[in-house]
Structure 1
Amino acid sequence: MTAAATTAKLAAGIHGGGRRYALLLALWDSEYAQKVYGGYYNVFVSAFGGDGGERWDCFRVIAGEFPAPEDLASYDGFVVSGSPHDAHGDDPWIRRLCALVQALHAMEKRVLGICFGHQVLCRALGGRVGKARNGWDVGVKKVTFVQDCLEGFDFLAGDLDVQLPSSASLIEVHQDEVWDTPPEATVLASSEKTRVEMFAVGEHALGIQGHPEYTTDILHNLIDRLTTQGAIQGCVGEDARRTVAETGGPDRAFWTSLCKNFLNGGRQSCGRPTPVVTGRRRLLHRRRSDGPVGLQC
């Protein structure tokens, strides 16, 4: 039995009476993620999962698998992953995903969008997204918080172990970006290359352009693939690698705690989370993308 199948089998027995989340995967597992982590499901749940008793259901939206409308009310939160596809594209599944986000917004369900998910969240709620005007952003970058806009958000307050920093390092792998935020959105963070690194709509919609869930080994593998595919030049890849050493790596414990705080409704400690995998995982057939893998995921 594979590690992924074992994880799924163990997780299937843990339903409990705790919170329930839906992971909306908009990409296929890379060979590296499958081999090292058992797939992106495990990467996300290990990063954003709690201390047990949660249930995480996985829907491969890129394959047209979506939660049933009658089940939406039973979820406490939703996470939309990154993707090699464009959030401004017209693929049927992307349009359907935007419609789902709109429905969740009307229900005031918590939705966390990561990279592609950040852009989908923006598009669905009335903003504009497109190709990054400054080109690819790859590496570990310093994200600066807009201090004047942070007050009033529970997921940025509460029982914090550390005070919210003025900036934090985050893994970035994207060639698209938010152009204009939705009408009711507040921009919470930006960087030298990307104007909208994080935005929120009230307490129930949060978009993050970077990848809080990624580890540096996943970043290095993505740089290898992007360079091999010719998506980025070798010098861009080398510059991206240097950012890992220059920054000391991403402030992953802070970012994952922030995301957990958001998904749990705020008021949770922002200390280092305990990696766990709980809940139910649907067994999904792994398939290679028809196009280049990992162009923005």
Structure 2
Amino acid sequence: MGLDEEQQRRMKGRYCLLLACKDSEYVMKMYGGYMNVFVTTFGEEGETWDLFRVVDGEFPDMSDIHKYDGFVVSGSPHDAYANDYWILKLCFLLNTLDSMKKKVLGICFGHQVLCRALGGKVGKSSSGWDIGVRKVKISCGSDDSMPMPLPELSIIECHQDEILEIPMGVEVVGVSDKTGVEIFRKERHVLGIQGHPEYTIDILHNLIDRLLSNNCIQESFAEAVRLQLETTEPDRMYWVKICNLFLKGDDVITNLFDY
């Protein structure tokens, strides 16, 4: 007897995007919104992806969260250490997901707010903005089953906040010359990435333009980043594989960085 469409979707996986930012005009015009950026990057045919705009107060019902195989928390222009109601509510949700051992992938702001929810500390970076493509050195931590040595992987960055203190039970598995916690994980169900594996170079160029027009960065800084982007590419396919192995892989510990 064949499986109906709903059964097939469940077998393929159901995922939840917790969107912590507004759709920019550029992303709406070019991609149809950040939801499409994430699903195009991480989604596979047959999967179900649901969107909750947490920045606007939209959250999944607590009685429904058990239905999801994984959650992704997006980046945001907001501070992960702020006490806006939606941020506090997001922290509560993430703490609940951690207690349920649900897989949660945090990206940029998502990485930071996930750390906060677990008991860590987030704040402004003492060295200022990190914008552009940066090399991240991935370490194996205490797990001898991972292959060594691991290479440096380049990723798009756009942040001025960072993790200052990690929570108990969390392991740092990625660092850069700019940021001390580029990647962290907790057991098999939590992964935080400071960079943006979902971003493309054109999205970053538009972000630079907007930051410049809002006087968040100086023209000389923006020009230096643009020059770097002419000769540097992120290792996007590897980051996507890392994220998908985490969200959908059977053996995260041994396979997460085995590409």
TM-score (norm 1): 0.79
Give unpaired runs (5+ residues) of structure 1. Answer: 1-12, 158-162, 271-297
User: 2:84 — aligned with what?
Assistant: 91
8 Å contact from structure 2 (residues 156, 234) kept in 1: yes
Percent of pairs with identical residues: 53
User: 2:105 — aligned with what?
Assistant: 112
Distance 2:76 2:140 in 1: 30
For residue 76 of structure 1, the aligned residue among 50, 69, 77 is 69
For residue 141 of structure 1, the aligned residue among 129, 134, 146 is 134
**In the TM superposition, what whole-angstrom CA distance separates every residue of 1:172-196 from its partner, at most 9, and x where no partner exists?**
0001000011111110001111110
The alpha-carbon deviation at position 164 of structure 1 amounts to 8.0
For residue 186 of structure 2, the aligned residue among 195, 201, 205 is 201
SS in 2 for 1:179: strand
Distance 2:39 2:21 in 1: 16
User: 1:256 — aligned with what?
Assistant: 240
TM-score (norm 2): 0.91
8 Å contact from structure 1 (residues 141, 243) kept in 2: no
**In the TM superposition, what whole-angstrom CA distance separates every residue of 1:81-128 from its partner, at most 9, and x where no partner exists?**
000100000000000000000000000000000000000110000100
User: 1:5 — aligned with what?
Assistant: none
**In the TM superposition, what whole-angstrom CA distance separates every residue of 1:240-263 from its partner, at most 9, and x where no partner exists?**
12222343x100000011101100
8 Å contact from structure 2 (residues 155, 195) kept in 1: yes
User: 1:291 — aligned with what?
Assistant: none
> Alpha carbons of 1:49 and 1:149: their partners in 2 closer, same or farther (altered >3 Å)?
farther
The alpha-carbon deviation at position 228 of structure 1 amounts to 1.2
User: 1:31 — aligned with what?
Assistant: 25
8 Å contact from structure 2 (residues 139, 150) kept in 1: no
Which protein has greater RCO, CA pairs closer than 8 Å, 6+ apart? 1
Matched, 1:173 2:167: no
**In the TM superposition, what whole-angstrom CA distance separates every residue of 1:27-83 from its partner, at most 9, and x where no partner exists?**
010000000000000000111112x11100000001110000110111000000000
User: 2:42 — aligned with what?
Assistant: 48
For residue 20 of structure 1, the aligned residue among 14, 17, 21 is 14
Say what the alpha-carbon RMSD is for the aligned residues.
Answer: 2.3
The alpha-carbon deviation at position 165 of structure 1 amounts to 4.0
8 Å contact from structure 1 (residues 244, 250) kept in 2: no
User: 1:103 — aligned with what?
Assistant: 96
**Number of equivalenced pairs:** 250
